[in-house]
Structure 1
C-alpha cells in the first residue's frame, strides 16, 4: 500500500422513566453463582433470550433433576430466580433448552438425555412450557435461527460437524445437511449458535467434551446462506478457551445483544467440578464481544471483577400508575399506563397520536428499541409503532406496523413534508395483536429497520438527525412495552467497554469522546476512510481482517479502558507495520509511563505485519486507561496482546534420576521414569514452568524407541487432553504454542493452536534407539532449532503471523515411544 505521511448523564427519574448514564457501574465476576441453581449440577448450557426489555436465562437440568429453571435480569449482572418453567417428564436430564419467541408463543427446544428433540410451548417466558411435539430427532443441542425473510432453520450437534435443517414451522424440522467448516479438529462438535450481522451469517460451536478442561468455543461464518458451508474464523483456533487454573472447560455458549442495545455478549459455562455420580458441575459466565469490521473478538474469558454491562442511555419499563411529565404529546389521544404497559385508545381517526419521551435527545447516531402490540383495530387506518428523531411536530421519523396490510411502513416528516413511504411485507401470519419488537439503527446517513430481529429495510438519507423517541398509535387500541434508546450503534458500544488484561485489544476500539479525550490526531479527516466513526483517526482495511489505525504520526495517541486482573508484570505484544526506521512509542497507564520510549524496528512494508514484545509493564489491578503514544516516526497499529509475565532469570534442570522434578506442572499421557530417563509410550505431553516466560533456551536429549516423532514444546499455553476420560490421543493437538520435533527424515517446527500448522522443516536421517541432543532458542518472534550441531541451527524461523509471545516449556511425543533426558531451560 502506498503511504503518505500525515502530520483525528445524570439520572433523571420521572415516575421511573430513566435517562441512564452511558457506562456500567459496580461489578460482576465470572463465574457467577445464581440463586436456586441445581444443587447437583449448577447451571450448564446457558441460553439467554430477551423479551420486552428483560433477559431470561435457561439451563440444562441435572441427570437426577426434573424441571427446567429460568432466571431473569435487566442488566446481566443481577439475576432473579423466576422459578420452574416446565415440569414435563421429558425435562429430566434435559439438555440445552433454547427458547424462541414468535408471534405470541414461546417455543422451547430441548433434547432429553441427548435422545432427539422435543418442542415445548408457552405464552410466557417463565412458562409453564408444555410438550407440543413428539421426538423430532436431530441429535442434541438444537439451535433455531430465523433469517430476515422469516425462514426458520434448525442446527444440531454431530460427530462430523454441525448439521442444519430447514423448518417449515416452529414445530417441524426438515432433513439435515452437514455444514462444512464446522467440525472442530476432527472432534465431536456441539452447542451451535447462529446469528446474522451486517449480512454475514456467524456460528459459534463448542468441541471436545463437557467433562474436559479443553472444552472450548470456535467460530465460523459465511455470506452465502444458513444452509451453506461455513469458513472457520481465526484460522480454526478457539475464540474462548482456558484449561488451567480455576476457570476451565469453557463452552456451550449463546450470543445475544446486551442492555445497551448494541454490544454483543456471549454467555457460557465453565467446568467447576464433577459430581460423585460423574455429572458436570457448571456455572454461568458472561463476556463482551467486539466487532472490528466483520471480525469477531471475544473480550474474555474473564474471571475477575469486571464493570457491569453498560445500560442504554434511556429506558422505560412503565412500572408506575401514570405517564408523568417525562413525556410530551402530539395530537392528543388517550394515553395511560396499565399492567406495566403504556396504552393508547383512540379510534376513528387516521391522526398519528404520539407520546415521546422528553428527557433525552439522542446523539446523531443511535439505536432505539420499541415493543408494541395491538389490542384492537379501528375501521379507518389502524397502525402502531415507534417514533425516532423527534424534534417537533414537523420533524420526526416513524416505523409503523400495519396489521391490516401486513407490512412495515417507514417514512420521515421533515419541515412538515412527508418523504415517500417505504412498505416492506411482514411474514405470512404476522399477528399485530401479539407483542413485537421494532428496532431502529441510525449510523451516519444509514437507517436500518428490524422487526423481531429480522432486518426488513435499509435506507440512506441526510434529512433527519438527532431527536427523541416515543410511541405512535393511529385508529387503534394499543399497548406499548419496554422503550429504550442508546447512543451506540453498529458495534460502537465496545469502544468504552473495559477490555480485560490479560487479553488482546483491537486498536480501532479506542475510547469514545473525540479529539483530546479518546484520541489525539494531528490532522483533520480519516485518511483511510474506513470504520464507523465520524472522527479524524485514520482507519484502513487490514489484510488480516477488519481494520487498523493507520498513519500514526509524532504526537498522536489513543486511549483504551481496561480492567487489569491483578497487580503485576505484563508483556505487551504490539502488532504493527512501518517502513520507518526508528519509530518510537510509549505506553501509559492513567498518568504513569509504564514502558519508557520504545523503538520499533521497520517491518519493511505497510502490509508486513509484525508483533513486537514490550516486556515488563507493571500494571495495577482494577479499572484503568491505557494510552498508546507515538513519540516520533510513523506506524500502523492493529492489536495489543497483553500477557502476564515472569521475566526473571534462572536455569532449571531435570535429569529424571528417580522422579519428575517439582517444576513440572501439567501432564497428559502415560509418563514414567525408566532407568533415570523420562519415558512416554505412544502419545503425550508434559509442561514445566510459567505461562509468563517469554525468551529462553531449552535443551534435552531425545531417543525414539520404536519411532521418531517427538520433541520440545515452547511458549505453551492451555494444554489439555481430549474426551471425558482425558484421552491423550484425542487431545494430541490440544495446546497453544510451538513444537520442535525430530522425525525419521526431518527436523520440523510447527505451531499448535488446537490444530497443527507446519512452519519449517529441514530434511535429515534420524534413527530409532539413538540419542539426539535438541536445543530450541526462543527470542522475540524468532525460534532456532538445533539438533546435534549446537552451532548451526537446523531451523531459523521468525513467526510474524500472530505469534505466541509467552508460555511454558515441555516435552511431547506423537504415537512414538520416546525417552527424554538432561532437560534444561535457561530463562
Structure 2
C-alpha cells in the first residue's frame, strides 16, 4: 500500500565504498609510553589528536613525576611514530590534558593544566614544537579545550565546581568571564570537547573520577556554543564499561578520520596487567555514527575493528617530480620542493594556472586542500586555492583566497557560463603566508566550503557533478600541501561501515548502492526527501529525534554490514512503529534465514515506537552483510540492537550457608547472619549483584524485610555497568537497569541509568519489620511486579522508551534503609 508516497525522486546511482580491512583492536599499543620513574607503565591518558596538513599529532598527559610533553605523528590514526618532546619547560611537569589548536595567524597554541593546578598557554610555529609558555597560570580548573566557531570566535571550555564552564576568548591567550554550561555528572565533571555539525553544537564531557570504573562519557547539544547545552538524556552515557578487561573509559577527544568524512572518539581506559589495575591509561579509538542530532559511538570495542578508511585519492608530494597523476592547464611554473609540497611561482599575469589530478571524484564527495602564499604579484586581484568538480575549462568550481581583501572567493562555471563570484570574509589576523586548509563538501547540488574548519559558504549549483580536483593560482606564488578526496560526505561513511556486534545499527545506515543490490524498494524516490538520496523512503521522526526508514511495504528490504565480535547466541531488538496488525520482519544472512518471520506489535500510531525482541540468533564471528526484509504488512523502522544472550541460570540463595558467595558487593555494609542477607545503609545506599549481564528474560523472587521506615529497598533487574558509587564518588545511581522497590506506602518501579527516572507505582500498606515477598518478571520490554499476591501484578509496565534495558544481571538494593533479604531466587 504505497498510497503514503507523495514525492518522487529520480534514481541516483552511487559508488560503492572500498572494502574495509580488519586490523586494529582496543586498547592501542604505543611506543615510548610515559612511565613512572619506579614502575613499569603509565601510558597515554587524556589523548588529544590534532590533524594538520594531512598528518595527525597525538598529545597525552605527562606522568606526575616527570617533565615535558610527548608528541606522536601518524598518517592513518593507527601507525604512530614517536616524535619526542614538543615542550620541555619546567611548568610541563605533570602536564595534564594538553590540547593544541591552530590559529589563523599560523601558530599553534597549547592549553594544559600541570598537576591540575590551573592552565598555561604555550605557543609554537609547528605542531612538533617547541612549545614555549606565553602566559603564566591563568587558572580555570583543568582539562581546557578550545572550540573555534565559523566566524572565527574562540571559546574555552574547562572544569569548574563540578561542572563545565565556558569562556569567550578575545585572543588565544585572553579569556572572558565564565558562564555555566549547565552540564554536570552530579560530581566531578571534566574533559569537555565541542564540535559543530548541522548548525548544532555537540559537547562531550566526562565524569566522575578518573580512577573510578564508572568513568564515562556523556554528550549534550545546543544551538549556541556558549550556553544552553541539553544532555542527550535518552542516549547517555554514550560510552561506558565498568566490568571486564577494558574499563574506566573517558576523557575523549573527537577527530575526523583519514577518509575526510568519518568521526572517531579517542579516549583512554585503565591500564591492566592480569587482575591488577595499574596507575596507567591506554588509548582507544571507536567510530562515531551520526543520525540527525544523534551521536552513536560504535563501541566500546575490544574485538578487531576495521581500520579507519583512507581517502579514495590523496597526495603528499613525497617525490621529486609532479608525475603523471597530475596534468597542467594554462601553464605556469610548477615543481616539487623537498619531496613534501608542490609549488607554482609565476606571477605578473592574471591568467589562471592549474594542476589537475587524473583521478575524478564521484558525484558526491569531500575534498581537502592545504595551501600557503609565498608572494603575490602587483595586480589588483591575486588569488590562489582549490579547483574541484573539474571536467574542462567550461565546467568547474573554484575556492580561492584573496589576501588583499581578506576573504574567500568562490566561482562556478557550468557549460561555459559563469555562475558569478561570491565572497566570505575571513577573520582578522589571517596570515596568508602560513598553511591554511580549504575543505569542499559536495552533496547533490550543494557545495559547502570551509576554511580552517570554519564553514564559510554554501552554494547550490545545478548541472555541476563530480570531477577532478587540483590547485590553481592567478598572479600568486603559492605552495600546495596534502590534497585528498573521498566519495563520501556528511557522515555517509557510516553506511558501508561494519558496525560492531554487540551494538546498535541505525535503520538509515543501510549500505550504499543501487536497487536490487543494497536495497529493494517498490516505488520511485525517497518520499521523505531527507537524509539520503535514492529510493529508500526516509523521514524525520519527532518522537525518535532522528531519521527513520518509513513507508515500508511487504517485500522491500535493506542490507546492513555488521562485524560480530565472537561466535555465539545473540538477541535482537527491533524498534518499529505501525498501525498494522500483520506487520512482520525477517533477517537473512545470505541465503540463511536467521529469524523467521517475526511479528511486530501494532503500536497504534506511526509515532508510537516500541521494541520487539527476537531471541536466540546464532551468529559467527567476523563480518556479515544482513538483509532486513519487510516480510508482511507495513511498518516504519528506526533501528536494531544485537546483544549477547544466555539463558538465565536457575539459582536459589537462602543464605543459610552463612555467606554470599557469587554476589558482588558494591556500597554499604552487607552481612549474612542468621540466614538473612542484611544491608545496613540507614543514611546511605548499597547494592549487590549476581548473575550474568547476558541474561534476558527471567523472574526474580525474594523476601524483603525493611527494618526502618525511611528510604526504600528492593530488587534490581537487567543490571549493566554497575560501579561503586562510594569509591572516589558519592552517587547512588551508579548502574544501568531497573529497580523494583518497597516503601511503607507502596510499590515502585524506577529506571537507573547513572541517574534515576520514576516509571510506575502502586499504593500499598507495607509495614516495617515485616517480610514482604516480591516477584519481578522481565520479558522483552515488559516488567511485572508482584508483592504478596503472586498471581496479579501490582505493576505491569512496558518500557517503550528509545533505550529499554533488555539484558542484565539481577541484584538487591537499599536506599536510606536497613533491610534483611532472604530466599532469593532467579529462574528463566
Query: CA–CA distance in 2 between the matches of 1:384 and 1:22?
Result: 32
Contact 2:354 2:471 in 1 (8 A): yes
CA contact (8 A) 1:654 1:660 kept: no
Aligned to 2:50: 49
User: Deviations for 1:717-771, whole angstroms, at most 9, x for unmatched residues?
Assistant: 1111236x355xx231011110001012221001111111111011222222211
Task: Name the structure 1 match of 2:721.
Answer: 718
Q: Deviations 1:487-532 (Å, cap 9, x if unpaired)?
A: 111110111111110111111011101212221111111122221x
User: Equivalents in 2 of 1:618, 1:234: separation in Å?
Assistant: 32
Residue 24, structure 1, aligned to residue 20, structure 2: yes
Aligned pairs for 1:689-768 (under 5 A) are 689-706=691-708, 707-722=710-725, 725=727, 730-768=730-768
CA-to-aligned-CA distance 1:182-206 (integer Å, 9 cap, x gap): 112x121100001111110110000
Cα deviation, residue 247, structure 1: 1.1
With over 3 angstroms needed to count, the CA separation of the structure-2 counterparts of 1:236 and 1:594, relative to structure 1, is closer
Q: Where do 1:284-303 residues align within 5 Å?
A: 284-303=283-302
Between 1:85-94 and 1:370-379, the stretch displaced more is 85-94
1:16 corresponding residue in structure 2 = none
CA contact (8 A) 1:210 1:280 kept: no
Offset from partner CA, 1:353-387 (integer Å, 9 cap, x none): 100110x2111111110000001111113211000
CA distance in 2, matches of 1:654, 1:449: 65
| Structure 1 pair 506–660 and aligned structure 2 pair: CA distance change class (3 A) | farther
CA distance in 2, matches of 1:660, 1:790: 28
CA distance in 2 between partners of 1:674 and 1:128 (Å) = 64
Q: CA deviation at 1:410?
A: 0.3
Contact 1:708–1:767 (Cα < 8 Å) also in 2: no
What pairs with 1:169-318 in structure 2 (closer than 5 Å)?
169-180=171-182, 182-184=183-185, 186-223=186-223, 225-235=224-234, 237-273=236-272, 280-318=279-317
- Does residue 29 of structure 2 align to residue 33 of structure 1? yes
Structure 1 residue 274: Cα displacement: 9.7
Q: Give the match for residue 321 of structure 2.
A: 322
CA distance in 2: counterparts of 1:316 and 1:134, whole angstroms? 41
Contact kept, 8 Å, 1:162 with 1:178, in 2: the verdict is yes
- How far does residue 280 in structure 1 lie from its aligned partner after superposition? 3.2
- The residue that corresponds to 1:442 in the other structure is 442
Residue in 2 that maps onto 1:822: 823
Q: 1:278 to 1:563 in 2, by over 3 A?
A: closer
Quick one: distance in 2 between partners of 1:91 and 1:97? 10
The correspondence of residues 357-756 of structure 1 with structure 2, limited to 5 A, is 357-358=357-358, 360-380=359-379, 381-531=381-531, 533-542=532-541, 543-647=543-647, 650-665=649-664, 667-682=666-681, 683-706=685-708, 707-722=710-725, 725=727, 730-756=730-756
Counterpart secondary structure, 1:555: coil
Change (3 A) 1:22 1:278: closer
Partner Cα separation in structure 1 for residue 504 and residue 431 of structure 2: 45
SS at match of 2:150: coil
- Find the residue that maps to 1:494 and give its secondary structure: helix
| Residues 259 and 547 of structure 1: CA distance in aligned 2, closer, same or farther (over 3 Å) | same
Measured at CA, do residues 444 and 747 of structure 1 come closer, stay the same or move farther in structure 2, by a change above 3 Å?
A: same
User: In the TM superposition, what are the counterparts of 1:107-146 in structure 2 within 5 Å?
Assistant: 107-146=109-148
| 1:672-710 deviation digits (Å, cap 9, x = unpaired) | 212221111111111111111111110001111223401
* Structure 1 residue 277: Cα displacement: 13
Asked if the contact 2:660/2:672 (under 8 Å) is kept, the reply is no
Determine whether 1:105 maps to 2:101.
no
Distance verdict in 2 for CA 1:789–1:276, change over 3 Å = closer
Superposition deviation, residue 666 in structure 1: 5.6
Shift of 1:284: 0.6
Q: Residues 318-361 of structure 1, C-alpha deviation per residue, up to 9 Å, x if partnerless?
A: 00001001111110111111120010010000111100110x21
SS in 1 for 2:321: coil
**Does the 8 Å contact 1:698/1:823 carry over to 2?**
yes
Partner deviation per Cα, 1:371-413 (whole Å, 9 max, x = no partner): 0000111111321100000001221110001111100000112
Q: Secondary structure at the match of 1:413?
A: strand
What secondary structure is seen at the aligned counterpart in 1 of 2:552? strand
Q: Is the 8 A contact 1:23 1:311 kept in 2?
A: no
> Partner of 2:404: helix, strand, or coil?
coil
1:495 aligns to what SS in structure 2? helix
| Cα deviation code 1:298-326 (max 9, x no counterpart) | 11111110010111111101000010011
- Describe the SS at the equivalent of 2:766: coil
Contact 1:697 1:777 in 2 (8 A): yes
- 1:415 Cα offset (Å): 2.6
Stretches of structure 1 lacking an aligned partner (at least 5 in a row): 9-18
Report the 3-state secondary structure (helix = DSSP H, G, I; strand = E; otherwise coil) of the residue aligned with 1:814. Answer: strand
Partner residue in 1 for 2:12: none
**For 2:313 and 2:462, how far apart are their aligned partners in 1?**
24
- Provide the rounded CA distance (Å) in 2 between the counterparts of 1:63 and 1:294: 38
**Mapped partners of 1:264, 1:698: distance in 2:** 42
**TM-score scaled by length of structure 2:** 0.95
**Residues in 2 aligned to 1:526 and 1:501: alpha-carbon distance in whole angstroms:** 29
Is contact 1:708-1:768 (8 Å) kept? no
The answer (yes or no) to whether the contact 2:17–2:496 under 8 Å persists in 1 is no
Cα gap change, 1:159/1:23 in structure 2, threshold over 3 Å: closer, same or farther? Answer: farther
Q: C-alpha distance in 1, partners of 2:17/2:238?
A: 31
Q: What is the aligned-residue RMSD (CA, Å)?
A: 2.0
Counterpart position of 1:13: none
Shift of residue 599, structure 1, vs aligned partner = 1.9
Distance 1:605 1:5, change over 3 A: farther
Q: Give distance in 2, aligned partners of 1:96 and 1:53.
A: 23
Match of 1:290, SS? strand
Distance 1:482 1:175, change over 3 A: same
The residue matched to 1:124 in structure 2 has which SS? coil
Aligned length: 807
Query: 1:165 corresponds to which residue?
Result: 167
After superposition, the Cα gap between the structure-2 partners of 1:276 and 1:751, relative to the gap in structure 1 and judged at 3 Å, is closer
Contact 1:208 1:722 in 2 (8 A): no
The answer to whether the Cα contact below 8 Å between 2:241 and 2:300 also exists between their aligned partners in 1 is: yes
Q: Is the 8 A contact 2:17 2:512 kept in 1?
A: no
Aligned equivalents of 1:499 and 1:125: distance in 2? 33
* Offset at residue 61 of structure 1 (A): 0.9
Distance apart, 1:446 and its partner CA: 1.1
Range 577-586 or range 210-219, more displaced:
577-586
Q: Does structure 2 retain, via aligned residues, the 8 Å contact 1:22–1:312?
A: no
The corresponding residue for 1:71 is: 72
Which deviates the most, 690-699 or 157-166? 157-166
| Mapped contact 1:24–1:311 kept (Cα < 8 A) | no
SS at match of 2:234: helix
CA 1:47–1:590 in 2, change beyond 3 Å: closer, same or farther? farther
SS in 2 for 1:156: strand
Query: Displacement, 1:670?
Result: 2.4
CA distance in 2, matches of 1:412, 1:659: 81
SS in 2 for 1:815: strand
Which residue number in structure 2 is paired with residue 87 of structure 1? 88
